[in-house]
Structure 1
Amino acid sequence: MINKLFAVYYGPQGITLLAHFQNLIALLTTLPNSGINVGLIRHLAQHEPDSASYRSYFWMGLSLNLLTFLGGIAAIILFPAFFLERFSQEIPVQPGITEFWIFLCLFVLLLLHLFWLSVLLAKQALRAYVYLSLLTSVISIGVTWWAVGRVELSSALVLFLTGQSISGLVGMAVVIFKGLVPRWQWGWSPDVVRNLGKFLVMALSTLVGAKLIDFVVRELAIQQFSMVETGLWQSVVKISDSYTMVYVSILGMVYYPKIAALLPQPQALQVYVKSIFYLLVPALAVGLLIFWWQRDFFIQLLFHREFLAARDLMNYQVLGDFLKMTAWVLSYIITVQARVKLYILTQLGSGLLYVTLVACLMPLLGIEGLPIAYAVRYGVFLVFHLYLFRSYFLKA
């Protein structure tokens, strides 16, 4: 819905800047959310809220969330031209110190919202998790609906962030009400830092190999083509992100906690992963084929008729999505096992391959080279994981 609103009122250029802004948010939240919070889900799930271990992980996790976030802010302040150049072109008046602090507070609230979600998920409070996520979506859509067409594009982006951040306060109330906030405890436990640090290091490779790479590739596309052409490609990517987000949510709520629980039982883990793999892959293939067949309908539903020019880009994008979503069933095993070196290798190697393919294919094939590079990247990614976990599928 948010993509639709930006597409209708601001066109392909608006979609390009929305994607860039969301990518900037991801750069600031990947280390806390995809690193520390993932580790918290694993470790908080093993302890009761009144235990010393739960208190240690909870407060250490919250502290590390804030520290890594401040590190991200420092990186943006040090390299403003790289991160903010595209936005500054759309802002007629440079923001002052008051606007900066407001912006910073919104990001902190968003960070807290993601932290509360991880606590709820760790304790399997799925109803509260779903309601809080739904509330965030409703508020974001409502605020954006009011803003688009009435304010400048830059202001609409800030209000979009506001809609996502409000749930940080609501989430705090929910977690406190459920008794999941332990009493204050200060102190750096080496074991806790080490355990959460593994996930933080893995998230760092995701930050560089995925989020930062996406930012760089979009910059390359804008320089090679235009904001409009890049916006058409980004509309395809955003449609992909829409159904991929649903898939990731299901894996995160159901699959990840289950394989984490089965870690001490290798044989049972293999049986479960194999069964899920054979169940999901055909379902993914059928679902994505239906989507591809009706891609014109979905482009107009989620964006606007002028974005139909991007329909041919959907071919390789859908293929890449199938390969990526299939590989994720196996790559989650690496995450839950906290195999740090292997995880870093796959993330950085995949990101480097993608940039190399984009640099080679974009001048030769034009804008179509971007989804082709994406599909090849995840084809290699899938083959690697199939080889790595081949014992899961070979008969004993």
Structure 2
Amino acid sequence: MNLIKTSLLNGIAVVIRLFTSIGLNKVLALYVGPAGYAVIGQFQNAMGMLTSFASAGITTGVTKYTAEYFDDEEQQHTVWRTAGTIVFCGSLFASLGIALFHRSLARMFLKDEAYAGVFLWLAATLILMVFNGLLLAILNGKKDIRRYVTVNITGSLVSLIVTGILAKVWGLYGALVALAINQSIVFIVTFAMCQRAAWFRVAHIIGPIDLIAARNLGKFMLMALTTAAVGPTSQIIVRDHLATKFGWTSAGHWQAVTKISDIYLMLITTTLSVYYLPKLSEIRDITEIKKEILRGYKLILPLTVSGASIIYLLRDWIVEILFTKDFYPMTELFAWQLSGDVVKICSWLLAYVMLGRALVRTFIFTEILFGTTFIGFTFVFTKYVGLKGATVGYFINYVVYWITMIYLIPKFINGRRHISAI
């Protein structure tokens, strides 16, 4: 399946997810307000970290090796069984830890012990959540895009319905509970879809750990765990800084504008993960990698620029539709945020080579470096231009990141003509 076909098919799921996200944002804006929106952002970051550690960050590796071993089902099964056992053990230990320290986690991330029960919900459903991620990684690696898209559509609808109901009944607490359990509910659908596939057997998902497969997956575990630690942590630190300096309402405005970026970039980022990662994993010829990158720039960059331009021109109307009048101050943040989005996608088109080719040390170094510089740029620019400094820092950080990728990735590509396996 080529890039255009993947983008079109994935676009169906993205459009549905877009509309459900619009509805979900409106619900949250009505029931929790800007300050509550910031708290939701904190919990999403915390949940992302905990989930990644529970799954050992293994899903990217599963996608890569499932794609790489496209002509060897036994090798695929070895990878799946190894990953499934690691995920099973990791999620059990993580669930126990979350349950034991749920009050401390609430104080640490949400600044209020009253929300401690939310972490108990997360602990109770975590194993289903991480296995849902594992099955999605397998579907992605198998390039079973139709099932992958169906599951993602289901997930969008479940999130809207469950979050809408619980937020209306329990307010912010209900919205947090919904975030904790949504993906666990979707697991039922994912499992049912996989069972219908000719290649799926439960015995292929959990079993003895193969040391070679574990070592190969370990590369991606290191990369994913680095991302899980650095990305959410940097956002939490920035959000805490904004809340301390400008108040939780202003932090909520920043959270809202970053959410808009997430929404309109769905088609781009999901296409990168659904198409590029498996494609870059299976390519053995460096010349073909260059062609894929160039093809990506020709198709994806114009879409990103067009999307960012439209969002900027319609920003007042978008804030009114997606949020409430309490969120209007966020319109001042759009210009730098959207500029940062464009540069971000430009850099990611190159950075995905690090994931697809398992360039572990380079990936970890750049993740830690630019997670740290994002915090630093934010602290510096908020001192001089206020809340807008967070989006200025976001833009500058990705400019420097893109320049770094332009320097590093061609060195790797030009240094090798052929790759059998990495």
TM-score higher than 0.5 here? yes
Matches within 5 A, 1:152-163: 152-163=171-182
Within 1, Cα distance between the matches of 2:265 and 2:54? 21
Find the partner of 1:382 among 394, 398, 402: 402
Alignment correspondent of 2:45: 23
Looking at structure 2, the residues matched to 67 and 219 of structure 1 have their Cα atoms a distance apart, in angstroms, of: 33
Q: 2:158 aligned with 1:136, yes or no?
A: no
Structure 2 match to 1:335: 355
Task: Tell me by how many angstroms 1:346 deviates.
Answer: 0.8
Give the whole-Å Cα distance in 2 for the aligned partners of 1:160 and 1:105.
Answer: 13
SS in 1 for 2:57: helix
2:66 and 2:138 in contact (8 A); partners too: yes
Matches within 5 A, 1:1-396: 1-31=23-53, 35-47=57-69, 51-69=73-91, 81=104, 84-85=107-108, 87=110, 89=112, 91=114, 95=117, 102-179=121-198, 180-181=200-201, 183=203, 186-262=207-283, 264-390=284-410
Separation (CA, whole Å) in 1 of partners of 2:95 and 2:59 = 19
Cα deviation code 1:196-246 (max 9, x no counterpart): 000000112212321221122212222222111111111111111112333
Of the structure 1 ranges 24-33 and 286-295, higher mean CA displacement relative to structure 2 is found in: 24-33
Aligned length, in residue pairs: 388
Deviation at 1:383, TM superposition (A): 0.8
Distance 1:72 1:327, change over 3 A: farther
Structure 2 Cα separation of the partners of residues 37 and 317 of structure 1: 29
Gaps of at least 5 residues in structure 1 are none
Distance, in Å, in 2 between the alignment partners of 1:272 and 1:166 is 36
CA displacement at 1:83 relative to structure 2: 5.6
CA, structure 1 residues 245+73, in 2 after alignment: closer, same or farther (shift >3 Å)? farther
Aligned AA for 1:29? T
Q: Does the C-alpha gap of structure 1 residues 289 and 13 become closer, same or farther in structure 2, counting only changes over 3 Å? A: same
Secondary structure of 1:188's counterpart equals coil
SS at match of 2:265: helix
In structure 2, the CA distance between the partners of 1:100 and 1:377, relative to structure 1 (3 Å rule), is closer
The 8 Å contact of residues 140 and 162 in structure 1, kept in 2 or not, is answered as no
- Structure 1 Cα separation of the partners of residues 171 and 138 of structure 2: 37
Instruction: Give the Cα–Cα distance (whole angstroms) in 2 for the partners of residues 336 and 378 of structure 1.
Output: 20
Q: Which stretch shows the higher mean deviation, 275-284 or 324-333?
A: 275-284
Per the alignment, in what secondary structure is the counterpart of residue 91 of structure 1? helix
Change (3 A) 1:346 1:48: closer
Q: Which amino acid aligns with 2:369?
A: G
CA contact (8 A) 2:277 2:352 kept: yes
Matched to 2:175, the amino acid is A
Distance 1:54 1:390, change over 3 A: closer
Q: How far off is 1:251 after superposition?
A: 1.1
Q: Secondary structure at the match of 2:170?
A: coil
**Relative to structure 1, is the Cα distance of residues 74 and 160 closer, same or farther in structure 2, using a 3 angstrom cutoff?**
closer
Q: Which runs of 5+ in 2 are unaligned?
A: 1-22, 415-422
Q: Normalization by structure 2: what TM-score?
A: 0.84
Shift of the 231–322 alpha-carbon distance from structure 1 to 2, 3 Å rule, reads: same
Provide the rounded CA distance (Å) in 2 between the counterparts of 1:303 and 1:215.
22
Render the CA deviation track for 1:123-168: whole Å, top value 9, x for unaligned: 1211111111111111110112222232131123102433332111
Partners of 2:208 and 2:252 lie apart in 1 by: 48
CA RMSD of aligned residues (A): 2.6
Deviation at 1:48, TM superposition (A): 6.8
Counterpart residue identity of residue 305, structure 1: K
Q: Structure 1 347/365 Cα, relative in aligned 2: closer, same or farther at 3 Å?
A: same
Kept after mapping to 2: 8 A contact 1:233/1:313: yes
Q: Deviations over 1:65-112 (max 9, x none)?
A: 2344456557755696466445362728x64xxx86543222222212
The Cα shift of 1:376 comes to 0.8
Sequence identity, in percent? 25
CA change 1:183–1:34 in 2 (3 A) is closer
> Cα gap change, 1:48/1:387 in structure 2, threshold over 3 Å: closer, same or farther?
closer
Cα distance between partner residues in 2 of 1:175 and 1:183: 13
In structure 2, distance between residues paired with 1:343 and 1:28: 21
What is the rounded CA distance, in whole Å, between the counterparts of 1:50 and 1:385 in structure 2? 33
